[in-house]
Structure 1
């Protein structure tokens, strides 16, 4: 027994129309024993090359992809939290640098006898 795969008059693959025939039976018109490869969106059969190819446009394929959902309130809060933590880290770094600068200035003023 062999599986054969159906296509319409424009050679478009008709999924779900596969049938099984005896090994020595003739393949009916509109069928082929060449199995379409996985992953085709709109398979089309080339009788001359005895091969299937993708006939769907990229726009059609993209239209089938799930739409990205807008971020949830939790996602927005997580992003805001990351931003705030980054700002806090930068502020702490500036405070540390200013503290070091002030200490150096006090030492210089002390050395010069100003204070």
Structure 2
């Protein structure tokens, strides 16, 4: 049977498999945490896991978008290289 451990603050600490004949450890549950939780916390009264991470924490884990200036620079470089390739295919420079 799968068991999911939590610490003294009910924060997720990992999982293990125990025999169905073993007693459930005090700091564990057989309730699987929901997928997509960043910092799962267990509510023993409701027998469910919930998200304890703040929006700011979750946003800090998301990849940062590339700055617009970098994208603009790359577009200019691609245009310049495309122009140079077209010139070479015509057999010269202008």
TM-score of Structure 1 vs Structure 2, range by shorter chain:
0.7 to 0.9
Tell me which residue corresponds to 1:25.
Answer: 22
Tell me which residue corresponds to 1:52.
Answer: 49
Tell me which residue corresponds to 2:74.
Answer: 74
Tell me which residue corresponds to 1:10.
Answer: 9
Aligned counterparts of 2:57 and 2:16: Cα–Cα separation in 1: 28
Q: What TM-score, normalized to structure 1?
A: 0.60
Aligned counterparts of 2:51 and 2:22: Cα–Cα separation in 1: 29
Tell me which residue corresponds to 2:86.
Answer: none
Higher strand proportion (structure 1 or 2): 2
Aligned counterparts of 1:7 and 1:51: Cα–Cα separation in 2: 12
Aligned counterparts of 1:20 and 1:66: Cα–Cα separation in 2: 34
In structure 2, the gaps of 5 or more residues are 78-94
In structure 1, the gaps of 5 or more residues are 79-115
Q: CA deviation at 1:66?
A: 0.7
Aligned counterparts of 2:49 and 2:74: Cα–Cα separation in 1: 46
Q: Answer yes or no: is 1:40 the counterpart of 2:37.
A: yes
